[in-house]
């Protein structure tokens, strides 16, 4: 189980009211999301973000980050997605690194640094428009194996991706591609493992683009650079 978020939030209405507003959202719905390029209406608040959270990314020096509301978090499909936000003071681009459990659809919870770009801090809660966009990343995608991964239980996270990830598949040799289930903490987990030796992975972005790579073996808490990047 991925640990829950520990940072406390400010300027949020009671969770019960927000759950009512989003139709009684479940903790980890499998659907939802915000389509690439489709403008959304909502609100912004802020919290003490450090770049980590439910998406299982490490803390980062780049604090232009945000937590996605539960319905549009879409069981971690929003993780790593970039969003352009326009508020009363200005605009900012953030990367989704976390989930806001009590936030209704349209609500983004920003880092303090990101919120300061779009509004005065004392406002605390403001109306915004926001649009999912391609991330401006350098280099190729990266595959990160979760700590504890082994040939008999394998968890892979896709990192440094320009577009949101729709699915990850794997196969050994020329066998059939098998889709790997996605967990709410942003890892694709094969509960029976991917075995010893080399295997292939295929990653599909939300617009249908695909990348294929051959990985030499299952690693434990380590990363491998892929051979390409989405356009």
Q: Which domain holds residue 46?
A: 15-133
Helical (H) or strand (E) element with 17: helix 15-21
In the chain, % of residues over pLDDT 90: 84
Residue 82 resides in a domain:
yes
Work out the burial of residue 23: count CB atoms within 10 Å of its CB; fewer than 13 is exposed, 13-18 middle, 19 or more buried: exposed
**Are 175 and 114 members of one domain?**
no
CATH code of 186's domain: 2.60.40.760
CATH code of 53's domain: 2.40.40.10
pLDDT of residue 21: 34
Q: Is the dihedral of CA 214, 51, 131, 20 positive or negative?
A: positive
Place of tokens 């970039």: 82
**Are 19 and 128 members of one domain?**
yes
pLDDT (mean) for 73-85:
97
pLDDT-derived band at 32 (thresholds 50, 70, 90) equals low
Domain end, chosen from 77, 109, 133, is at: 133
Domain end, chosen from 82, 113, 133, is at: 133
Contact assessment for residue 204 and residue 161, using Cβ atoms and an 8 Å cutoff: no
Number of folded domains that form the chain: 2
pLDDT-derived band at 191 (thresholds 50, 70, 90) equals very high
Residue 204 resides in a domain:
yes
Q: How far apart are CA 82 and CA 8, in angstroms?
A: 23
Residue 126 resides in a domain:
yes
pLDDT (mean) for 177-206:
98
Helical (H) or strand (E) element with 82: strand 82-86
Nearest CA to 110 out of 22, 155, 51 is that of 51
Q: What is the pTM of this model?
A: 0.86
Nearest CA to 96 out of 128, 68, 57 is that of 68
pLDDT (mean) for 187-193:
98
Work out the burial of residue 221: count CB atoms within 10 Å of its CB; fewer than 13 is exposed, 13-18 middle, 19 or more buried: exposed
**Are 49 and 122 members of one domain?**
yes
pLDDT of residue 142: 98
Give me the chain's average pLDDT, please. Answer: 89
């Amino acid at each position: 189980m991925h640990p829950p978020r520990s940072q406390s939030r400010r300027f949020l209405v009671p969770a019960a009211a927000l759950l009512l507003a989003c139709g009684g959202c479940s903790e980890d719905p499998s659907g939802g999301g915000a389509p690439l390029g489709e403008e959304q209406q909502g609100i912004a608040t802020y919290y003490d973000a450090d770049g980590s959270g439910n998406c299982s990314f490490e803390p980062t020096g780049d604090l232009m980050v945000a937590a996605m509301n539960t319905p549009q978090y879409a069981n971690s499909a929003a993780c790593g997605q970039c969003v352009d936000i326009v508020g009363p003071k200005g605009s900012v681009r953030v990367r989704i690194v976390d989930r806001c459990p009590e936030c209704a659809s349209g609500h983004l919870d920003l880092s303090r640094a990101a919120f300061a770009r779009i509004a005065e801090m004392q406002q605390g809660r403001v109306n915004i428009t926001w649009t999912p966009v391609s991330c401006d990343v350098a280099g190729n995608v990266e595959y990160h194996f979760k700590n504890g991964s082994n040939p008999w239980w394998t968890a892979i996270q896709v990192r440094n991706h320009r577009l949101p990830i729709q699915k990850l598949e794997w196969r050994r040799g020329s066998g059939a591609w098998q889709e790997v289930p996605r967990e709410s903490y942003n890892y694709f987990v094969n509960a029976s493992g991917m075995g010893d030796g080399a295997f292939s992975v295929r990653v599909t972005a939300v617009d249908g683009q695909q990348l294929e790579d051959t990985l030499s073996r299952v690693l434990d808490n380590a990363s491998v650079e892929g051979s390409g990047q989405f356009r």
